[in-house]
A and B are shown apart, each in its own frame.
Chain A
Amino acid sequence: MSSPARKIALVGNPNCGKTTLFNALTGLRQKVGNYPGVTVEKKVGEMRSLHGEKIELLDLPGTYSLSARSDDERVARDVLLGDLKGTDRPDAVLCVVDASNLERNLYLVLQVIDLKLPVIVALNMVDVLEEKGQRIDPDALSQQLGGTPVIPCQANQEIGIVDIKGALSRTPHRSHRRWNAGEDVERILEKSAEVLIARGVPNAAAHALTIISDRAMRDRTHDHCIDHSLLDELEPIINGEAADSDLPIESRIVAARYETIGQISAASVRGGDAPMELSFSDKLDATLIHPIKGWLIFIAVMVTMFYSMFTLASVPMDWIDAGFSKLGEWAGASLGEGDLKDLIVNGIIGGVGGVVIFLPQILILFFFIGVLESSGYMARAAFIMDRLMSKVGLNGKSFIPLLSSYACAIPGIMGTRTIEDDKDRLVTILVAPLMSCTARLPVYVILIGVMTPNADAATRTSLMFGLYALGTLGAFFFAWIFKRAFSKNAASPFLIELPPYRMPGWKLVFQQLLDRGLVFLKRAGTIILGLSILIWAASTYPKPADPDTPREIALEQSYMGQAGKIIEPVVEPLGYDWKIGSAIVWSFAAREVFNSAIGIIYKVGEEAEEEELKTALANAKHPDGRPIFSFWVCAGLLVFYVFAQQCIATFAVVKRETASWKWPIFQVVYMTTFAYFAAMAVYQIGSRFFG
């Protein structure tokens, strides 16, 4: 019998090479899941010690500090405190330290030591430091950290990995707190720990220190297992004992840690100051964030990304489309007639195929995000765009997800993972589908064609541009509203590191690409499969008694058709009949379904040519001879399609990314309600005053 695997947590600052080290240690033996209740990704890997014992390595989110500002950081803190349900407190912590940025990285190391957890320091990127003419003496650093093992390594070149495995195989070494913020702070810590012990809180000293050094936790702005009555009990101790000082106690603790860090660094760094000449990154930044050249390069990068998502992706998207059609044909030919065949061919293959088709766009976007991120340019893009985004209360990091949503909201929403602030991320997710995606294009093309039968190409292009502009304005308008509604205290602080430029870690980029693709297929796939079956059923049942009933009549009698009739009074003020209403209901699965649905309803067939469809629509008349698709009906419909949330794939991804049903439902409701009234306004005002 083997004893249960030892659990080791991996922590480190963003950009310190933590994920690269995690991959080097665990290879592909990784499992990706979610922590319960939050959207933070839980990555667990498996490795063997030098004695062949199993070690479970938990990759915690990258963080600068354990005072928690975001969900990511809260998870890291709670796991290390042993407070997160479903995750055991680790037996030891492997702290990855960027040697070229020692002081700030040591801050996190000291925080982990403060929690009384055994620590092993992986001193990464020693080569980068050497280029600066400096060196860190690992033995001196280890001694300064109270005997904490310090292992130099270069994770990106797999140098030092065996040594780290060796250190992880040995009995963990527990150091103790390295700093002293004054007698009064010591007394507060001691007395608070006594209170916690009396209350039976485990790891009392670690909890006491966390509460005292994290103002957000004391201000109760965030939930934690420490209950409020306990905080009330601690409040007089903190306020009563603290010596009169201009500085709040948490600032004094930060200062005490940095004072110790200064000593540690002085005792372990060898070699002179950094050379005076400009580094490679500085030279690059002089161009890349230049007031003029910077913009040109930025625009060029965005255009390349955008263009690739549109054009490059269309090739594999056509393959996938063709593949699923073939699969459908094959399944159709080999299955006997009946409901099962219909379900599999139209419900499952059609529905899932309609989602898998987005995979190329997702992969291309994540390729770009991966390269931009690991090269260091992403932080510069946020830096350049921050001013513009701040006008609506967002920050520069929301820009790329929103831009990507022009191609497809799904990769855009998945791309919001790079936004640390939870509120900013949620707002970005909520408005992303307002950016006109490629799925709206076929609808726009048909409706603009019917609306302006005699217009030239230039007029149509400007109309198209106007629709894109309308969606974009809508996105910024709603971002502004939501930001004000969600966070009472104005703008969230913007604070990002501009890391040195590096060659992208290709291995890492491609592994993340694979992860994202699989996550999309697996998670979104299950919900989409369910909804596709539901939609299929609603448009199939009840079946007409006579099996030879034409498709459009059968459709009219189905639940979907009945629903279309029921909603007729609802869509009447928009100038629509029940047929357009049904097509809209249908296209809640995916917007482009409007074209095939309207094709079926107006009897030109599902795969109608664009021209055929346009003619059919232009000739469609009300019983009294008025054209159904009048100018203002088309204009209203276009506005409706700009704003309405009609995409189950987006719904599924928002559900996954926000870990709740509330937000995807809210999104459908607010977007569609707004779309409805906007379309009504266009139709009513337009047809009344401009005939």
Chain B
Amino acid sequence: MSDSPVSLSEIMPGGSASVVAMDPSIAGMQRLQEMGLLPGTAVKVVRRAPLGDPIELEVRGYKLSIRKAEAAGVTVRPT
């Protein structure tokens, strides 16, 4: 995988990435940051829900679920 920035929603389950930027205009972004997902934070996509959405992330040692629509606002660099 190249390490050009992509959106978090494009990372396949099992893949890891590092957050580059977050779109502040998307609702819930501040809370996502307060939950520990910030530029520079390592994040892993654990799985997708059985119907494809939402997705499960691992951030700072705990599991967090967000929808693809929100994940699309997070730019990451695959690691």
Asked if B14 is an interface residue, CB under 8 A from chain A, the answer is no
Asked if B79 is an interface residue, CB under 8 A from chain A, the answer is no
Given the known interface contacts A248-B24, A383-B49, the answer about A107 and B67 at a Cβ–Cβ threshold of 8 Å is no
Q: Which residue of B lies closest to A388 (CB)?
A: B51
Asked if B72 is an interface residue, CB under 8 A from chain A, the answer is no
Asked if A521 is an interface residue, CB under 8 A from chain B, the answer is no
Which residues of A (76-115) have their CB < 8 Å from a CB of B? 100-101, 103-104, 107
How many angstroms from the CA of A491 to the CA of B54 in the assembled complex? 13
Given the known interface contacts A215-B30, A251-B30, A386-B53, the answer about A103 and B36 at a Cβ–Cβ threshold of 8 Å is yes
How many angstroms from the CA of A72 to the CA of B60 in the assembled complex? 25
Asked if A493 is an interface residue, CB under 8 A from chain B, the answer is yes
Interface centre among B34, B47, B52 (most CB of A within 10 A): B34
Given the known interface contacts A107-B34, A255-B39, A295-B50, the answer about A383 and B62 at a Cβ–Cβ threshold of 8 Å is no
Contact (Cβ within 8 A) A495 B35? yes
Contact (Cβ within 8 A) B50 A289? yes
With a CB–CB cut-off of 8 A, which chain A residues contact B34?
A: 64-65, 67, 107, 254
Q: Which residue of A lies closest to B27 (CB)?
A: A493
Contact (Cβ within 8 A) A386 B67? yes
Q: How large is the interface on A (under 10, 10 to 19, 20 to 34, 35 or more residues)?
A: 35 or more
Asked if A505 is an interface residue, CB under 8 A from chain B, the answer is no
How many angstroms from the CA of A494 to the CA of B47 in the assembled complex? 16
Contact (Cβ within 8 A) B38 A104? no
Asked if B66 is an interface residue, CB under 8 A from chain A, the answer is yes
How many angstroms from the CA of A258 to the CA of B32 in the assembled complex? 13
Taking a contact as CB atoms closer than 8 A, the residue among A251, A492, A498 that contacts B33 in the complex is A251
With a CB–CB cut-off of 8 A, which chain B residues contact A107?
A: 34, 36
Contact (Cβ within 8 A) B32 A289? no
Taking a contact as CB atoms closer than 8 A, the residue among B22, B33, B50, B62 that contacts A497 in the complex is B62
Asked if A190 is an interface residue, CB under 8 A from chain B, the answer is no
With a CB–CB cut-off of 8 A, which chain A residues contact B27?
A: 489, 492-493
Contact (Cβ within 8 A) A496 B65? yes
The digit string for A249-267, where 1 denotes a CB below 8 A from any CB of B, is 0110011001000000000
How many angstroms from the CA of A104 to the CA of B32 in the assembled complex? 11
How many angstroms from the CA of A9 to the CA of B31 in the assembled complex? 23
Contact (Cβ within 8 A) A67 B69? no
With a CB–CB cut-off of 8 A, which chain A residues contact B65?
A: 379, 383, 386, 494-498
Q: Which residue of A lies closest to B60 (CB)?
A: A103
Asked if A332 is an interface residue, CB under 8 A from chain B, the answer is no
Can you sample 18 A-B contacts with CB below 8 Å? A64-B34, A107-B36, A247-B24, A251-B22, A254-B34, A255-B39, A281-B63, A383-B49, A383-B54, A387-B51, A390-B67, A493-B31, A495-B28, A495-B32, A495-B64, A496-B65, A498-B65, A499-B63
How many angstroms from the CA of A497 to the CA of B54 in the assembled complex? 12
With a CB–CB cut-off of 8 A, which chain B residues contact A250?
A: 30
A interface residues (Cβ-Cβ under 8 A, vs B) = 64-65, 67, 69, 100-101, 103-104, 107, 215-216, 246-248, 250-251, 254-255, 258, 274, 281, 285, 289-291, 294-295, 379, 383-384, 386-388, 390, 489, 491-500
How many angstroms from the CA of A497 to the CA of B66 in the assembled complex? 9
How many angstroms from the CA of A494 to the CA of B49 in the assembled complex? 13
Q: Given A65-B31, A100-B61, A495-B65, 4 other A-B contacts at CB below 8 A?
A: A383-B65, A387-B52, A390-B67, A497-B62
The digit string for B1-42, where 1 denotes a CB below 8 A from any CB of A, is 000000000000000000001101011101111111011000
Taking a contact as CB atoms closer than 8 A, the residue among A69, A100, A248, A495 that contacts B66 in the complex is A495
How many angstroms from the CA of A103 to the CA of B61 in the assembled complex? 9
With a CB–CB cut-off of 8 A, which chain B residues contact A251?
A: 22, 24, 30, 33
With a CB–CB cut-off of 8 A, which chain B residues contact A383?
A: 49, 54, 56, 65
- Chain A proximity of B45: nearest CB distance (Å): 13
How many angstroms from the CA of A64 to the CA of B70 in the assembled complex? 18
How many angstroms from the CA of A489 to the CA of B63 in the assembled complex? 27
Taking a contact as CB atoms closer than 8 A, the residue among A69, A492, A494 that contacts B54 in the complex is A494
Taking a contact as CB atoms closer than 8 A, the residue among A291, A379, A494 that contacts B70 in the complex is A494
With a CB–CB cut-off of 8 A, which chain A residues contact B31?
A: 64-65, 67, 69, 493, 495
With a CB–CB cut-off of 8 A, which chain B residues contact A495?
A: 28, 31-32, 35, 64-66, 70
Q: Which residue of A lies closest to B24 (CB)?
A: A248
With a CB–CB cut-off of 8 A, which chain B residues contact A258?
A: 36, 38
- Chain B proximity of A135: nearest CB distance (Å): 15
